[in-house]
Amino acid sequence: MELGELWKKLDSDKLSKPVLGAVHIQKKSKHPVQKLKNAYLWTSGFSFVFLIGFIILFFLFDETIVKAGLVFMIASYIFFFAANFSMYQKVNVVLPIDQSLKKALEYTHQFITENIRFQERVALFIYPFAAASGFLMGGSAGSGNVMKMLEIKEVIIIMVVTSAVLTPAGFYLTRWLYKVSYEKCLTELKARIDELQRPN
């Protein structure tokens, strides 16, 4: 069957679930897949704003150790921007005509869930260094000589404790932000999948 004939068949069979699903996905403001795609775009935007902020800070501090911490943060936000914008591009709001709606939605749900968990694990690795970088920036702004400040044993202890406290706090904050941004849409998407599994 030629592609044109196939599209005519799909158009004439709008009561079938896959075709209804395709139409719903194209209603961009309502379907959970489109909402998830939009959420990735917003997350990409926030990552880009933070990236620009850290680039500006890099030029405001002179000490090498502080700049090293800022380079790490810049690299981290380049990763988060790239990861989220890549997901924005990959989340498909148009159902391919050669696979069922249910399988397409299941794949999207699994793909996004795994990506969120991966980003959470990466964030958990980044937070100790982020906390230390913030501590060093504060020390540089306050004393003007971070290297001399780090010669004091108590300062090292405070920095380690700060990182130990802020790392789990930052991790749970990240989970909460992902929950606010994505969980409701993922729940809606799972409900759509469950509806397709029910017998007619």
Q: What is the pLDDT of residue 147?
A: 87
The ranges of the chain with pLDDT < 50 are 1-24, 27
Q: What is the pLDDT of residue 29?
A: 59
DSSP H or E stretch at residue 96 = none
> For tokens 């306050």, what's the residue?
142
Q: What is the DSSP letter of 179?
A: I
Question: Is-contact 122 79, C-beta < 8 A?
Answer: yes
pTM equals: 0.79
DSSP 71-93: HHHHHHHHHHHHHHHHHHHHS--
Task: Give the model confidence (pLDDT) of 117-164 as tens digits.
Answer: 999 999 999 999 999 999 999 888 887 788 888 888 999 999 999 999
Q: What is the pLDDT of residue 104?
A: 86
